[in-house]
Chains A and B, each alone.
Chain A
Amino acid sequence: MTGRIEALEDVIETALKVGLALSTGLLLVGLIAGAGRPLRWGILLLMLTPVVRVAVVTAGLAVERDWTFTAVSFVVLAILLSGIWVSVHR
């Protein structure tokens, strides 16, 4: 079990690094060029990184058939997605 959690941690680490690299690039371009659009996308991408992280964990645990924690992680994902839904529809 511990070994599998470690493998999942590696996948999460990669997802976090990709999210960070992309949003950092956009934010840098936006700030240096004084452009609103890359800033907006950079911020949105950064905001979405934790959501993607939870989605990766949920999928990873489902693959591992750890159903208890898949359910726990899915609840977190559902709360985050409902937060986005509420924000868009207010």
Chain B
Amino acid sequence: MPVHHVLLYLFTGAAAGLVGAMLGIGGGVFLVPLLTLVLGVPIRAAVAASLISVIATATASSTVNLDRGLVNMRLAMALEVATSIGGLGGGLAASLLSTQQLFVLFGGTLAVMGALMLLRSGRRNVIADTSVDPGRLGGRLQEGDTTYVYRVRRLNLALAASLVAGAVSGLLGLGGGIIKVPVLNTFCGVPIRVAAATSAFMIGVTAAASVFVYFARGDVVLPVAAAVALGALPGSIAGARLGQRVEARALKIFMAAVLLLVGGRMALEVL
């Protein structure tokens, strides 16, 4: 592989890791379109490289987020059951769908989530009264000098969203955070930073549920996947650090914009 291609993949991975870790979505959402549409990588090789990069992003950003107490471990474990079942199913089903169907599914999912996120960006989930019991799955969040409490609501919805997120992840090479973060934040009472950190913690496991299927099928192009993952590592550490400094509302609007843009772009490709 020529050196300038390696550099291009490294840079692509770094950019996807930076934004992906900041929003807790892994970065597959940028990687798959970039690799397929701009760099001409076949979709299944792009999905496989993306899943590996998602694992790199999840692992690297979690070393930062665990240190800062942003990961809700119990919630992550409960939801991982649903995402990993969905992930394995999606990975196995991927060979049954056409490229065009994959693109439509991808674009449609993103656009809907983007609209949802934008509509509800003004709401906050945290309670300033620290005497409130966060419950078994809830937790506390430190922002500057203030400690907030949050409770997890509608666990069934979070589990259902995680199952779908897992399946979409296995099919499309995403982390699945693109579905989990908006649902956890807008419907389940989880603050955006905790939703992002917890999702980032989970997406490595979601991706791992399907990535072995791709690997065994020979879809992993080693130098492409390696260069993208190597770029994603420093990118996602920087993204995780940056995510903690940005205002919560700005994070939500940024995420909504990203979803609408990428979703629209993918949908246009098919039309």
Interface residues, chain A, with chain B CB atoms under 8 Å away: 5-6, 8-10, 12-13, 16-17, 19-20, 24, 27-28, 30-31, 34, 36, 39-40, 42-44, 46-51, 53-54, 57, 69, 72-73, 75-76, 79-80, 82-84, 86-88, 90
**In the bound complex, what is the Cα–Cα distance between A57 and B77 (angstroms)?**
9
B155 at the interface (CB under 8 A from A): no
The listed residue (B71, B208, B210, B230) touching A31 by CB distance below 8 A is B230
| A-chain residues with CB within 8 Å of residue B67 when the two chains form the complex | 13
User: Contact between B6 and A72 (Cβ–Cβ < 8 Å)?
Assistant: no
| Distance, CA A80 to CA B213, complexed state (A) | 11
Q: Once bound together, how far apart are the Cα atoms of A33 and B210, in whole Å?
A: 29
- B residues touching A (Cβ–Cβ < 8 Å)? 1, 6, 52, 55-56, 58-60, 62-63, 66-67, 69, 71, 73-74, 77-78, 80-81, 84-85, 87-88, 91-92, 204-205, 207-213, 215-217, 220, 222-223, 225-227, 229-230, 233
Within 8 Å CB of B225, what residues of A?
43
Measured between alpha carbons, how far is A84 from B213 in the docked complex, in Å? 7
- Assess whether B55 is in contact with A83, with CB atoms less than 8 Å apart: no
CB distance from A48 to the nearest CB of B (A): 8
A83 to B225, CA, bound (A): 20
Chain B, interface SS category: helix
List 18 contacting pairs A-B, 8 Å CB cutoff, sorted by A. A13-B63, A16-B59, A20-B59, A24-B233, A31-B223, A31-B227, A46-B56, A46-B59, A50-B58, A57-B73, A57-B77, A73-B80, A76-B84, A79-B209, A80-B205, A83-B91, A86-B212, A87-B217
Residue numbers in B under 8 Å from A86 (CB-CB):
88, 92, 212-213
CB–CB B208/A27 < 8 A: no
Cα–Cα distance between A72 and B75 once the two chains are bound (Å): 11
> Which residues of chain A have C-beta atoms less than 8 A from B211's C-beta?
47
Complex contacts, A10 vs chain B, CB 8 Å: 66
| Given A46-B56, A79-B85, A83-B208; A31-B63 close (CB under 8 Å) | no
Contact yes or no, A5 B73, CB < 8 A: yes
Least Cβ distance of A85 to chain B in Å? Answer: 9
